[in-house]
């Protein structure tokens, strides 16, 4: 077995039960706490980690309550990103809404045959309202570029609409104007699934079939010679080594050849992968910050400029599933999970942190308990269980 050194407070067979308890720690009646002690509910975090709920007791009912809560808060096709008082609540996220739509499809697939027609219709109607708003709302901070079908964020927008969302003095610290790769991939996956789930007249009204085809034909612009672009800006690829291509390629229907997936894996292993997650920026980049410390401003500078994020391991594992043989995939999953298994079975931690430092020693940083970190490791363990039922290592 992999876990054979040092004393553990818990036996290996307790691992999934421990992770389930950790997931439960974040759950409210109709939402999910993003992290303790200083986060409340964030739409983006909720829906990135939502599939973890599907495996819990009454998971279908609990997930449905969360979907319904967000349905009631939608404005102009967007779900709220930060939830709090009316003054604190904001809608400054594009990817959060796309994750919401994608998770509706995941929910319908996971609980196939268990969801009533009225509920299914209500959820699919929400996706139609999102797509319709993206095409027809005139004052959203992004728009559909009809030439290639992707969503474009104009550089006149003083908002950070992706998960790299730090804003200082009303300016995004990690400006991702244009067409960020994971936004394009999320939008493509949502539209592709829409073709098989939504009403035929709706699909024809917005020419979704043609749009998806154009996206397929033009997605290759993100892939260069030995590099993958983080975004397209003014028609040109911006080659900045960040993990956003991993999010994109981890999605089920993103157009990418085996060669592209192999290149992506090579870049991850050489520049982004650490024992506890993926770096938010390559150490080769001049803006790389090796440590997350200091005052608020200094920490904000490091937040998406090298700091390691645990949650990115799940999309990375999904990307690897497309590239590797089943046996290779099992081995890689075990390697990725090994540090967390030791940590969790030691009995010395009650959750998993938001961040780790971007360079050795990798100290845990940020919120000491973060939902999407726990959800990622739990989902990876469930993937392993699906491949090899009954075997933990």
pLDDT digits (tens, 9 = 90+) for 272-284: 999 999 999 999 9
Distances (CA, A) of 201 to 68, 146, 208: 25, 19, 11
Residue 190 reports pLDDT greater than 60? yes
Tell me the two tokens of residue 328. 């290779």
Where residue 97 falls (left for φ over 0; alpha for ψ -120 to 50; beta otherwise) is: alpha
- d(CA 253, CA 319) in angstroms, rounded, equals 11
Helix, strand, coil share (%) of the chain residues, nearest 5: 50, 10, 40
Distances (CA, A) of 237 to 158, 188, 297, 391: 21, 18, 29, 44
* pLDDT tens-digit readout, 18-74: 999 999 999 999 999 999 999 999 999 999 999 999 999 999 999 999 999 999 999
Residue 87 reports pLDDT greater than 80? no
Q: What would the mean pLDDT of 139-145 be, rounded to a whole number?
A: 97
Q: Count how many residues are written for the chain.
A: 393
Tell me the two tokens of residue 307. 């700091």
Which letter, b or e, does each residue of 146-157 get, where b requires 16 or more Cβ atoms within 10 Å of its Cβ? Answer: eebbbbbbeeee
pLDDT of 2 reads: 45
Average pLDDT, the chain: 95
Contact 243, 176 (CB under 8 A): no
Residue 389 reports pLDDT greater than 70? no
Q: List Cβ neighbours of 209 (8 Å cut-off, separation of 6 or more).
A: 195, 203
Question: What is residue 324's DSSP assignment?
Answer: S
- d(CA 177, CA 189) in angstroms, rounded, equals 21
393 — pLDDT class (breaks 50, 70, 90): very low
Contact 334, 303 (CB under 8 A): no
Residue 93 reports pLDDT greater than 70? yes
- d(CA 347, CA 10) in angstroms, rounded, equals 7
DSSP 216-261: HHHGGGGEETTEE-SEEETTEEE----THHHHHHHSTT----HHHH
Residue 171 reports pLDDT greater than 50? yes
Tell whether the torsion through CA atoms of 74, 79, 84 and 90 is positive or negative.
Answer: negative
pLDDT of 138 reads: 86
* pLDDT tens-digit readout, 304-334: 999 999 999 999 999 999 999 999 999 999 9
- d(CA 244, CA 253) in angstroms, rounded, equals 16
- Phi then psi for residue 348, to 5 deg, are -100, -5
Residue 92 reports pLDDT greater than 70? yes
pLDDT of 7 reads: 62
- d(CA 11, CA 296) in angstroms, rounded, equals 40
Residue 390 reports pLDDT greater than 80? no
pTM of the model: 0.96
pLDDT of 11 reads: 86
End-to-end Cα separation, the chain, in angstroms: 6
Contact 369, 350 (CB under 8 A): yes
pLDDT of 210 reads: 97
- d(CA 269, CA 34) in angstroms, rounded, equals 28
pLDDT of 3 reads: 45
- d(CA 77, CA 96) in angstroms, rounded, equals 11
pLDDT of 209 reads: 98
Tell whether the torsion through CA atoms of 55, 58, 61 and 62 is positive or negative.
Answer: negative
pLDDT of 28 reads: 98
pLDDT of 332 reads: 98
Q: What would the mean pLDDT of 113-140 be, rounded to a whole number?
A: 97
Nearest to 140 by CA among 205, 202, 77, 183: 77
Contact 373, 354 (CB under 8 A): yes
Tell whether the torsion through CA atoms of 186, 106, 307 and 42 is positive or negative.
Answer: positive
Q: Quickly count: other Cβ atoms within 10 Å of residue 219's Cβ.
A: 21
């Amino acid at each position: 077995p992999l876990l054979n050194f040092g004393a553990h407070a818990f036996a290996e067979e307790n691992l999934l039960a421990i992770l389930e308890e950790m997931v439960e720690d974040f759950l409210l009646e109709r939402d999910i706490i993003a992290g303790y002690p200083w986060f409340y509910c964030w739409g983006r975090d909720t829906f990135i980690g939502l599939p973890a709920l599907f495996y819990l007791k009454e998971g279908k009912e609990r997930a449905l309550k969360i979907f319904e809560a967000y349905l009631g808060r939608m404005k102009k096709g967007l779900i709220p990103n930060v939830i709090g008082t009316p003054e604190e609540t904001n809608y400054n996220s594009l990817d959060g809404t796309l994750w919401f739509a994608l998770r509706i499809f995941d929910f319908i697939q996971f609980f196939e045959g268990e969801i009533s027609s009225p509920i299914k219709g209500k959820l699919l109607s929400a996706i139609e309202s999102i797509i319709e708003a993206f095409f027809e709302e005139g004052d959203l901070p992004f728009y559909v570029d009809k030439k290639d079908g992707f969503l474009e964020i104009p550089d006149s927008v003083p908002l950070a609409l992706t998960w790299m969302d730090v804003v200082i003095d009303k300016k995004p610290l990690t400006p991702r104007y244009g067409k960020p790769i994971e936004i394009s991939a999320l939008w493509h996956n949502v539209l592709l699934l829409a073709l098989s789930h939504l009403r035929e007249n709706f699909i024809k009204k917005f020419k979704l079939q043609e749009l998806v085809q154009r996206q397929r034909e033009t997605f290759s612009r993100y892939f260069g010679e030995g590099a993958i672009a983080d975004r397209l800006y003014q028609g040109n690829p911006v080659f900045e080594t960040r993990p956003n291509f991993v999010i994109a390629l981890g999605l089920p229907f993103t157009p990418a050849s085996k060669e592209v997936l192999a290149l992506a894996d090579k870049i991850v292993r050489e520049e982004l992968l650490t024992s506890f997650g993926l770096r938010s920026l390559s150490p080769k980049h001049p803006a790389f910050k090796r440590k997350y410390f200091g005052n608020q401003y200094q920490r904000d500078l490091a937040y998406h400029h090298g700091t390691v994020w645990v949650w990115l391991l799940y999309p990375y594992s999904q990307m690897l599933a497309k590239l590797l043989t089943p046996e290779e995939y099992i081995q890689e999953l075990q390697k990725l999970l090994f540090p967390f298994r030791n940590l969790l079975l030691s009995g010395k931690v009650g959750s998993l942190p938001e961040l780790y430092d971007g360079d050795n020693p990798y100290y845990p940083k940020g919120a000491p308990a973060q939902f999407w970190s726990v959800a990622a490791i739990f989902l990876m363990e469930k993937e392993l269980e699906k491949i090899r039922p009954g075997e933990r290592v």
